[in-house]
Structure 1
Amino acid sequence: MKGRIFTVLILFLHTISPAQQNIEQVFQKLLTGSDYKNATIGIQVSDLDSDEILFNFDNNKLMIPASTMKLVTSAAALEILGAHYRFTTKIGYTGNINKNTLNGDLVVVGGGDPVLGSAHFRDFYEHPDFLDIWVQKIKDAGIQKIKGDLVLDVSLYDSEKIPPTWIWEDMGNYYGAGPSALSVYDNMFRITFSSPGKAGMPTQIVSTYPKIEGLEIQNEVLSSDENRDLAFVFGSPLDYKRVIRGTIPKNRKSFTIKASDQNPEKLLAADFISHLAKSGIFISGGVKLKKVDGKEFQIVYIQESPSLAEIAKVLNYESVNLIAEHLVKQIAVQKTGEGSREKGIAVIKQFWKSKGLEGQFFMEDGSGLSHFNAISPGQFISLLKYMRNQSKYSAAFLNSLPGAANGTLYGFDARVFEGNTLKAKSGSMTRVRCYAGYLKVDSGKTVAFSLMVNQFDGSHSKLIGEIQKLFEAAKITF
């Protein structure tokens, strides 16, 4: 009897290579770890050149993707809009020009540029300053005085500022900024504090930048022994009152946090008027938001954005929620003529269904900030395989993904995953951590992978370490 059991054991071990044992052991350790034994975990690793699934566990289970949802959005945007697509902002006027005086309105028509004046594209928009260019083009048109209003046309998108399933804790913070047809400066502002040397004491607000007219801040932030930003900004997108709660490090003369600006059009107007005034051009009227009759509108300049390929790289490297939400609405504009989140999501879901993503997945936004999103590892694999093997924008998509020690993959060791060995998008929120992308393995081939961990206990940094071990095991296995 003992001999038969031993023979069976030998046969079993011969069917599994040492490397395969290794990845299974690493994954089993993850499953049974004290921080993860009650979590929901799904994984799939697939050969990109065949339909072979190399490794999987609950790969068809729908889970919260967090920011890996940006892969769904960015890949669809590249396919639908094209890698060379550029957003346009139109500057012009209505009325007539007589003796260098515009008898009419100065007009800016928003085209949904998600990165207008963005800190991520300083060289593009600041050298020279894009508003200085606008002013010069107005002067070139013969306008030195304006008897009318500054009109901002933001009608390209609907009035929904943020998706309804975003939580209260997120919407006031910089990563909770919503899209506008005239977004500017990443739709955020900065709040600088000073803190006393003792923990648990009130802090002081030193300044806000840029200045936002009508902004009212209630500061409840305390100093702390924790050496990190734990302050959260709370406020509705429909008003200008903000309450800030939480903590910042003690004994700081200057400590800056970022908050969302849900009405960027107002800031753009103020900055544009200031630039005009510096050049001696003054507007007699006020600022109005309204749709402009295209027949009456005379264009003097069209401001183009960087290419979508460049924008997608910032989106996936830095995980910029605002860009993702813009892409959803811009896709809706291109395909339906209506700039709404619901229309954009419907187009994106239908697109991926046509490309072979099987089964239902739930998409409530483009960025993954909503806790109501749900998708499976297997569906991510289908997307990754399509973008690598069939998309004409494969290179742009791959280039948009960070490698080890870069972007949101900062926690992975570049000595282990050299060069482009690992290219992936991460996703994280409270008790959620996910990864999806490509891994070049030691056999020379590249595999697609998706790992999703929901409702785990413990720290994100510890889980990242466990996931790196899993990817190392996958690297030598396949």
Structure 2
Amino acid sequence: MISRRFFLTSGLASVAATTALANAPAVSLRPVARDPASLISAGGGLKGLLSRAGLSGEVACAVADVKTGLRLEAEGAGAGLPPASVAKALTALYALDVLGADHRFTTQIVATGGISGGVVAGDLVLVGGGDPMLNTDTLAQLAKALKAAGIREVRGAFRVWEGALPQIKSIDPGQPDHVGYSPAISGLALNYNRVHFEWKRAGQGWAVTMDARTKKYRPEVSVATMKIAQRSLPVYSYSEGKDTDRWTVASKALGKGGARWLPVRHPGAYAADVFRTMARANGIKLPAPKIARSRPSGQVVAHHNSPPLDLMLKATLKYSNNLMAEMIGLAATQARGGRPRTLKDSAGAMNRWAQATYGMANTRLVDHSGLGEASRVTPDDMVSALVASYRDGRLKPLLKSFPMRDSKGRILKGHPIKVAAKTGTLNFVSGLGGFMTATDGTVLAFAIFSADQKARSRISRAERERPQGARSWNRRAKQVQQKLIERWGRVYGS
């Protein structure tokens, strides 16, 4: 695809320019003007580049000028492929449009009865407000606020309400039980709904702990338990109790010691467990927690506001946090009047919004994080959203820098092309979408999706954490992405 700009421009490139992104020439070269079309077709053009890459599966891509929206080049731009975490960029735009950059989520402590002499006559309720960044430090602050308010006793029950968002046991049930990137969802999340499991050698065995740690606190929890089983495989097994997560780990897998974060399946019970510990540390004894079935009314005795949404989205995109994307996406759907029961329901609402807002007629997401393998986005749809978002200035400041690398994977600090983008990685799936600024200052929007769905379909559920061949495939896919970016910088921005 040859753009209008190439017929209006002459002398765009030189031999020196085409070698600047590889190795410096051995001798000084005089600039030699080239026909613009020759830059596009050199080496077989875009098709030749993709063919030489030898990446199994499909690669689809599109690139456009952000000022005009003109598509400069594309291959399979109408093919719907799994976007992986590139989907989070669309979720960010959705949330900004619906909730606004200054939106905050509020967690409250509510007393349902009167307070006299430091005694709450009714219930004390931990009320979740959908804050995906709530952590143990926050609960410690809320407990201190209760103490500062003079509260020392609760005559009624201690309850927890997590109904601000639907309760979902796992972001993607197809993932192994033990992976921390697919926890449960509800209106109350603590430490991204993960519990810290640590083991250390103790005599002939191991000492294990399950806690809700941060840098400042390490409260042990009772709602998640771990037992060591005398076996080699599976490494982990999970069973669900009443408001508890029961884990076992294979003794043969423990070695001398280690730690990892495990997903939490009962977020409300987990947060209540930790808050009860923090309250006790402040001299407030709370009874065993109960789950509240409806939002309580009463006096707000302490509260915590999350950071503003734009800062939360920046963190979501930087760390590619699945839980944050899902909770924020669900909150946006509910704010539009939707009543989603599942992530697919909420993603469907976002799909309709994307079509109405950006013309993304072929986007079929099943969640807000991109973890679900059934999601499909076309490069052309993604580029449409990127171009529009560049004009309103909302997305690019939230995206992290994507470093260019040499053939050994080392970052090239002085690379002339600057990229701000969202990456996406699943087993045998790799995506990249965002903005590149070429040497001459030209800004382009691009989307690249790669997937070997046959290889992915052969992976069993138990193998999904580290399947054979996936890491090397994804590494090659990232190399293709960089070659495409370098090509577009050389052809359309030098």
Normalized against structure 1, the TM-score is what? 0.80
Structure 2 equivalent of residue 199 of structure 1: none
Answer whether contact 1:172 1:232 (CA < 8 A) is retained: no
User: Is 139-148 or 307-316 further displaced after alignment?
Assistant: 139-148
- With over 3 angstroms needed to count, the CA separation of the structure-2 counterparts of 1:205 and 1:133, relative to structure 1, is closer
What is the one-letter code of the residue matched to 1:44? A
Equivalent position to 1:363, from 359, 362, 365: 365
Offset of residue 179 of structure 1: 2.0
Structure 2 equivalent of residue 384 of structure 1: 386
Deviations 1:296-345 (A, max 9, x none): 41112221001111111111111000001101211122122635434432
Structure 2 equivalent of residue 446 of structure 1: 443
Answer whether contact 1:216 1:241 (CA < 8 A) is retained: yes
Once residues 246 and 68 of structure 1 are traced to their aligned partners in structure 2, the CA distance between those partners, rounded to angstroms, is: 38
Answer whether contact 2:223 2:269 (CA < 8 A) is retained: no
Once residues 428 and 159 of structure 2 are traced to their aligned partners in structure 1, the CA distance between those partners, rounded to angstroms, is: 45
Equivalent position to 1:429, from 426, 429, 441: 426
Answer whether contact 1:156 1:333 (CA < 8 A) is retained: no
Equivalent position to 1:401, from 375, 399, 402: 399
- With over 3 angstroms needed to count, the CA separation of the structure-2 counterparts of 1:204 and 1:476, relative to structure 1, is farther
Structure 1 equivalent of residue 51 of structure 2: 31
Structure 1 equivalent of residue 484 of structure 2: 470
Once residues 140 and 274 of structure 1 are traced to their aligned partners in structure 2, the CA distance between those partners, rounded to angstroms, is: 17
What is the one-letter code of the residue matched to 1:346? G
Structure 1 equivalent of residue 119 of structure 2: 101
Equivalent position to 1:167, from 174, 182, 187: 174
- Map 1:281-320; keep pairs closer than 5 Å: 281-283=284-286, 285-292=287-294, 294=296, 296-320=297-321
- Map 1:68-467; keep pairs closer than 5 Å: 68-117=86-135, 129-163=137-171, 166-169=173-176, 171-193=177-199, 206-210=208-212, 211-217=220-226, 233=236, 235=238, 240-244=245-249, 253-283=256-286, 285-292=287-294, 294=296, 296-336=297-337, 338=339, 340=341, 341-389=343-391, 391=392, 394-395=393-394, 397-405=395-403, 413-417=411-415, 421-455=418-452, 458-467=472-481
Moved segments of 4+, more than 6 Å: 220-223, 245-248
Aligned length: 429
User: Is 208-217 or 47-56 further displaced after alignment?
Assistant: 208-217
- With over 3 angstroms needed to count, the CA separation of the structure-2 counterparts of 1:434 and 1:220, relative to structure 1, is farther
Offset of residue 435 of structure 1: 0.4
Once residues 446 and 247 of structure 1 are traced to their aligned partners in structure 2, the CA distance between those partners, rounded to angstroms, is: 53
Structure 1 equivalent of residue 84 of structure 2: 66
Once residues 96 and 216 of structure 1 are traced to their aligned partners in structure 2, the CA distance between those partners, rounded to angstroms, is: 37
Structure 2 equivalent of residue 125 of structure 1: none
Answer whether contact 1:43 1:58 (CA < 8 A) is retained: yes
Structure 2 equivalent of residue 227 of structure 1: none
Offset of residue 405 of structure 1: 4.0
User: Is 233-242 or 177-186 further displaced after alignment?
Assistant: 233-242
Offset of residue 276 of structure 1: 1.8
Offset of residue 117 of structure 1: 1.4
What is the one-letter code of the residue matched to 2:262? A
- With over 3 angstroms needed to count, the CA separation of the structure-2 counterparts of 1:465 and 1:297, relative to structure 1, is same
Offset of residue 430 of structure 1: 0.9
Structure 2 equivalent of residue 20 of structure 1: 40
What is the one-letter code of the residue matched to 2:107? T
Answer whether contact 1:404 1:414 (CA < 8 A) is retained: no
Deviations 1:421-462 (A, max 9, x none): 100011111111110000001232100000111007743223
SS in 2 for 1:240: strand
SS in 2 for 1:355: helix
